Amino acid sequence: MPATDARIAAVDTYDIRFPTSRELDGSDAMNPDPDYSAAYVVLRADEPGEPEGHGFAFTIGRGNDVQVAAIHTLRHHVLGRSVADLCADPGTLYRDLTSDSQLRWLGPEKGVMHMAIGAVVNAVWDLAARRAGRPLWRLLADAEPEWLTAQIDFRYLTDALTPDEALDLLRRGRKGAAERTEHLLTTGYPAYTTSPGWLGYDDAKLARLAAGAVADGFRQIKLKVGADLDDDVRRCRVARAAVGPDVRLALDANQRWDVPEAIRWTNALAGFDPYWIEEPTSPDDVLGHAAVRRAVAPVKVATGEHAHNRVVFKQLLQAGAVDIVQLDAARVGGVNENLAILLLAAKYGVPVCPHAGGVGLCELVQHLAMFDYVALSGTTEDRVVEYVDHLHDHFLDPVVIRAGHYAAPTAPGFSAALRPESIARYTYPGGAFWAADAERTEGRTA
Amino acid sequence: MPATDARIAAVDTYDIRFPTSRELDGSDAMNPDPDYSAAYVVLRADEPGEPEGHGFAFTIGRGNDVQVAAIHTLRHHVLGRSVADLCADPGTLYRDLTSDSQLRWLGPEKGVMHMAIGAVVNAVWDLAARRAGRPLWRLLADAEPEWLTAQIDFRYLTDALTPDEALDLLRRGRKGAAERTEHLLTTGYPAYTTSPGWLGYDDAKLARLAAGAVADGFRQIKLKVGADLDDDVRRCRVARAAVGPDVRLALDANQRWDVPEAIRWTNALAGFDPYWIEEPTSPDDVLGHAAVRRAVAPVKVATGEHAHNRVVFKQLLQAGAVDIVQLDAARVGGVNENLAILLLAAKYGVPVCPHAGGVGLCELVQHLAMFDYVALSGTTEDRVVEYVDHLHDHFLDPVVIRAGHYAAPTAPGFSAALRPESIARYTYPGGAFWAADAERTEGRTA
């Protein structure tokens, strides 16, 4: 990366909300009316030639202002720091942020404050990859194992994963990386699609979208379940008929059930040969997931999008609670913490099938999955990245899906940057869309 | 409670910070310089004769503004609600708050957003007890078991505790309640003190305060540990010499260690006969606590002040990870969720020794412990409430400690109200103290 005396001069935050609830896109058993939103941060240097670093936390509407306020609270850790130093070692900032003792009390390492840390840390990685002129997945895949290991905070992990074990996994992961990079550039990374399966869609739309997904090359689709068992039986029948016996059908309960109910409900749908049941119960319930897993096999148990930090993932693996690790790019403390989670999964031999969707989660997480394939797990077997066809047009470097695969990004960065015109239009409450919306509402009630 | 047509007309929030870091009060291995703070909320009705309801989340400084913003985000759930209905059934509001699907994404049920819910729910209980003209512990202890059971959200709990089991525990708990109430009013509830043991104190101050605590009637003191083992060995020796062999000496590591280190360090201090080791590792690490507990017995394992919701407590009990449940009055979703935690502890037969200190945590949590004694567990054996002599003078109904016991509160409410003059003086950044402080700082740097 180029030498520079540049320092971070601005940590700008934006409350960006998209009015997705009006279309019932994204509706599930726990989230009937999400307005997909981003608490968005841009790091700007004091030299005009330096790129910006973009990052965000994903929320679903109300409270996005609280998330923005949390990011704002971190800015004194970033302002004035050397851009070159930050990019050479994002791990130091990550540890400074998680070690701020006063802010730590608000978590620790969970919820609003931890997602804020993730947004800022990811913005630094976006900046680092832009300065290096490379997509993040390549920056990570080409990095020295020693350097990657140093990016991880092993606190609370050493009973399951030590730095030496991580280093060993990363060194072994590099064998064959060049061939896998070529394969990835040619073929892409397998995706599955959730777009057919939202609860708000009727059966005809479900059948049409499910068949369309298979025609588009997807080998797995996902259905939201958990609101009503009779409905779910019918919808599973419709979906299975539409995709045929050989395409995987994943189910997602979005935390709807208690443990006994999760077992009953999943087993009641077993006849449709579901591949996994996702978020069957509270994301905090490691022992609950383990109990569900024992009772619903061979249906697999998947969770992780709401697992709030590496300690939860550690326990899910220690307890044998999951068949599938669904890390999320913007829920935990950024790339650094996700490196730890990828290594934990590699150590336990459990496949990672990242959560995506929302605002920009597909854009971010593809980089982590591709790094994992090229330089850690070395395989895409039983691995797929979620794909949802929402809101990609708002990004400068949107994901590209071809024949059911994510095309490997080639633009520099973490694919995190929203278009300036989208930021302007959807900033809440003052952006053009929301201002006009408020006027419409006033017009109706006047 | 009196009938009324009153409705909630205001949900006022305050960012209140006390400059405790300047005295090293409250210093421990993870929190070297806390400014004890309250994200404070007052519910006000639209009729002048109605009492106010006060509640708060406790933080340690930076980020208290984020916590206040989170409370502010909840106000649309409270404004305009009937005061009588809220007080007759706080559980409906509690479930509305935890079920707000958009805000739920920011947790779920953890961190900043969940503490905000706790502050609002506790303010409703304060209001309910004031309207009833009774201290909260008596309101709870005299309530019908059916009504108390209906105050609990059993979601994610039914694999460990069902509504029927809860009802049975509460019915059995009532036997002898009248005698225990009398005993409590006469004798109070046992306390232990953390005031001698902060890391920032030198050995002479530690010895003096430890001996003083015993002279004041305390039968247990607590030492902060975890920064340096040699220091801890010396400080344990000083403390044990000061209190003699019969007073319990508890240790608190404030999450400082990984699992292997927690085991080594605790066992290295075992010669001083510590009663419990508190927060030996990450508060999220249920399996880690279980491993530590197996390896350090007969030293007991205690945790809970950072356990973020009832699902974590459920697992700590299911896994046999704790000897002592240290619930906190302001970390989880308020009285309703703490009723669930008390019932889980009762079901598993594990004593509850609540966390306190900070700003007003002693004031709040004494009510929960006293309810537990009078109407649930029925005993104070091996049960003590933490006491720290910080900031009580700022409260209108401060705790009263006599001979190492909390005197049972008699004033109506949840003891949650700060003095108006303290609110005015310590509001950040505009209150008189902080405004003058900013002027002093500017004077020094000019």
> Residue A40 is part of a domain; what is its CATH number?
3.30.390.10
Which of residues 27 through 66 in chain B touch A, CB cutoff 8 A?
30-35, 59-63, 65-66
Nearest-by-CA chain B residue for A34: B102
Per the structure block, which two tokens stand in for A24?
């019932």
Total structural domains in chain B?
2
Q: How far does A300 lie from chain B, in Å, by closest CA? A: 20
**Domain boundary, last residue among A109, A138, A167:** A138
Which of residues 313 through 342 in chain B touch A, CB cutoff 8 A?
314-315, 318-319
The helix-helix angle for B286-296 and B310-318 (nearest 10°) equals: 40
Q: Torsion angle of alpha carbons B323, B326, B331, B336, nearest 10°?
A: 90
Same domain, A266 and A389: yes
Q: What does the pLDDT read at residue A445?
A: 60
Q: Do B260 and A156 count as a contact with CB atoms less than 8 A apart?
A: no
CA distance A395 to A407: 16
pTM: 0.97
The pLDDT of residue A152 is above 80:
yes
What spatial distance separates the first Cα and last Cα of chain B, rounded to whole Å? 58
Residue B392 lies in a domain: yes
pLDDT mean over A260-276: 98
- Render pLDDT for B188-203 as a digit per residue (tens, 0 to 9): 999 999 989 888 889 9
Backbone angles phi, psi at A408, to 5 degrees: -65, 125
Residues in chain B within 8 Å Cβ distance of A281: 156
> Which residue range is the domain that position A94 belongs to?
8-138
CA distance A82 to A89: 11
The pLDDT of residue A80 is above 70:
yes
pLDDT classification of A444: cutoffs 50, 70, 90: low
Probe site for chain A from B97, B159, B308 (most A CB atoms < 10 A): B159
**Domain boundary, last residue among A80, A113, A138:** A138
Nearest-by-CA chain A residue for B255: A156
Strand-pair partners of B191: B385
CA distance B95 to B110: 15
Same domain, B128 and B197: no
Same domain, A257 and A353: yes
Q: How far does A59 lie from chain B, in Å, by closest CA? A: 6
Closest CA to A85 of A45, A134, A113: A45
Same domain, A286 and A382: yes
Per the structure block, which two tokens stand in for A46?
């004091």
Nearest-by-CA chain A residue for B32: A101
Same domain, A76 and A131: yes
Probe site for chain A from B106, B153, B157 (most A CB atoms < 10 A): B106
Backbone angles phi, psi at B61, to 5 degrees: 130, -115
- Which range, of A31-35, B15-19, B214-218, B232-236, averages the lowest pLDDT? A31-35
Q: Do A63 and B102 count as a contact with CB atoms less than 8 A apart?
A: yes
Do the beta carbons of residue B222 and residue B251 sit within 8 Å?
Answer: yes
ipTM over 0.90: yes
Closest CA to A66 of B189, B359, B137, B63: B63
Displacement of CA A135 from its chain's centroid (Å): 17
- Render pLDDT for A12-54 as a digit per residue (tens, 0 to 9): 999 999 998 887 666 677 777 889 999 999 999 999 899 999 9
Q: In what order do the strands lie in the sheet with B37-45?
A: B8-17, B37-45, B53-59
- Render pLDDT for A351-394 as a digit per residue (tens, 0 to 9): 999 999 999 999 999 999 999 999 999 999 999 999 999 899 99
Same domain, A120 and A182: no
The pLDDT of residue B406 is above 80:
yes
Counting every residue written for chain B, the total comes to 446
Nearest-by-CA chain B residue for A318: B287
Per the structure block, which two tokens stand in for B162?
């069902």
Half-sphere exposure of B28 (CA within 13 A, CB side): 26
Q: What is the DSSP string of B14-50?
A: EEEE--GGGGTTT--SS-SS---EEEEEEEEESSTTS
Residues in chain B within 8 Å Cβ distance of A118: none
Q: Do A105 and B69 count as a contact with CB atoms less than 8 A apart?
A: no
Strand-pair partners of A197: A223
Q: Do A102 and B61 count as a contact with CB atoms less than 8 A apart?
A: yes
Do the beta carbons of residue A64 and residue A431 sit within 8 Å?
Answer: no
Q: What does the pLDDT read at residue B332?
A: 98
Active site residue B175: no
Q: Do B102 and A315 count as a contact with CB atoms less than 8 A apart?
A: no
CA distance A321 to A294: 8
Residues in chain A within 8 Å Cβ distance of B320: none
**For A154-175, what is the HEC assignment?**
CCCCCCCCCHHHHHHHHHHHCC
Residue B365 lies in a domain: yes
Residues in chain B within 8 Å Cβ distance of A114: 111
Mean pLDDT of chain B: 96
Q: What does the pLDDT read at residue A198?
A: 86
Q: Torsion angle of alpha carbons A414, A416, A420, A422, nearest 10°?
A: 150
pLDDT mean over B368-387: 98
Same domain, A130 and A247: no
Half-sphere exposure of B41 (CA within 13 A, CB side): 34
Q: What does the pLDDT read at residue A1?
A: 58
CA distance A353 to A406: 13
- Which of A54, A314, A355, A390 does the annotation list as catalytic? A355
Which of residues 143 through 162 in chain B touch A, CB cutoff 8 A?
154-159
Per the structure block, which two tokens stand in for B254?
């404030």
The pLDDT of residue B98 is above 60:
yes
Backbone angles phi, psi at A107, to 5 degrees: -115, -95
- Render pLDDT for A158-186 as a digit per residue (tens, 0 to 9): 999 999 999 999 999 999 999 999 999 99
Q: Do B157 and A32 count as a contact with CB atoms less than 8 A apart?
A: no
- Render pLDDT for A293-336 as a digit per residue (tens, 0 to 9): 999 999 999 999 999 999 999 999 999 999 999 999 999 999 99
CA distance B365 to B386: 9
Q: Do A255 and B108 count as a contact with CB atoms less than 8 A apart?
A: yes
Residues in chain A within 8 Å Cβ distance of B34: 101-102, 105
Q: How far does B89 lie from chain A, in Å, by closest CA? A: 24
Contacts of A238 (CB under 8 A, 6+ apart): A203, A206, A207, A210
Residue A95 lies in a domain: yes
Which of residues 237 through 276 in chain B touch A, CB cutoff 8 A?
255, 258-260
Q: What does the pLDDT read at residue A276?
A: 98
Q: How far does B106 lie from chain A, in Å, by closest CA? A: 6
What spatial distance separates the first Cα and last Cα of chain A, rounded to whole Å? 58
Size of interface A-B (CB pairs under 8 A): 195
Residue B227 lies in a domain: yes
A70 contact B CB<8A: yes
Closest CA to A391 of A34, A32, A9: A34
Same domain, B104 and B247: no
Active site residue B367: no
Same domain, A87 and A212: no
Helix (H) or strand (E) holding B56: strand B53-59
pLDDT mean over B134-145: 98
Strand-pair partners of B340: none
> Residue A352 is part of a domain; what is its CATH number?
3.20.20.120
Do the beta carbons of residue A194 and residue A386 sit within 8 Å?
Answer: yes
Displacement of CA A283 from its chain's centroid (Å): 15
- Which of A77, A224, A300, A314 does the annotation list as catalytic? A224
Q: Which of A73, A258, A309 sits opposite B63 (nearest CB)?
A: A73
CA distance B75 to A65: 14
Same domain, A213 and A114: no
What percentage of residues in chain A have a pLDDT greater than 90?
Answer: 92
- Render pLDDT for B4-40 as a digit per residue (tens, 0 to 9): 899 999 999 999 999 988 876 666 777 778 899 999 9
Q: What does the pLDDT read at residue A90?
A: 98
Residue B298 CB neighbours (<10 A): 9
Residues in chain A within 8 Å Cβ distance of B31: 101-102, 104-105
Q: What does the pLDDT read at residue B444?
A: 67
The pLDDT of residue A446 is above 60:
no
Same domain, B102 and B195: no
Probe site for chain B from A95, A100, A105 (most B CB atoms < 10 A): A105
CA distance B55 to A428: 29
Closest CA to B261 of B285, B237, B236: B285
Residue A232 lies in a domain: yes
- Which of B54, B77, B314, B355 does the annotation list as catalytic? B355
Q: Torsion angle of alpha carbons A302, A250, A233, A30, nearest 10°?
A: 60
Residue A409 CB neighbours (<10 A): 23
CA distance A399 to A415: 8
Residue A167 lies in a domain: no
Per the structure block, which two tokens stand in for A148?
């990657």
CA distance A48 to A6: 9
Residue A184 lies in a domain: yes
Per the structure block, which two tokens stand in for A147?
């350097």
Same domain, A38 and A128: yes
Q: What does the pLDDT read at residue A2?
A: 65
Nearest-by-CA chain B residue for A114: B111
Contacts of A221 (CB under 8 A, 6+ apart): A192, A193, A194, A196, A197, A210, A213, A214, A239, A243, A247, A248, A249, A250
Q: What does the pLDDT read at residue A110?
A: 98
Which of residues 287 through 316 in chain A touch B, CB cutoff 8 A?
287-288, 291, 306, 308-309, 311-312, 314-315
Q: Do B115 and A106 count as a contact with CB atoms less than 8 A apart?
A: yes
Residue A88 lies in a domain: yes
Displacement of CA B230 from its chain's centroid (Å): 31
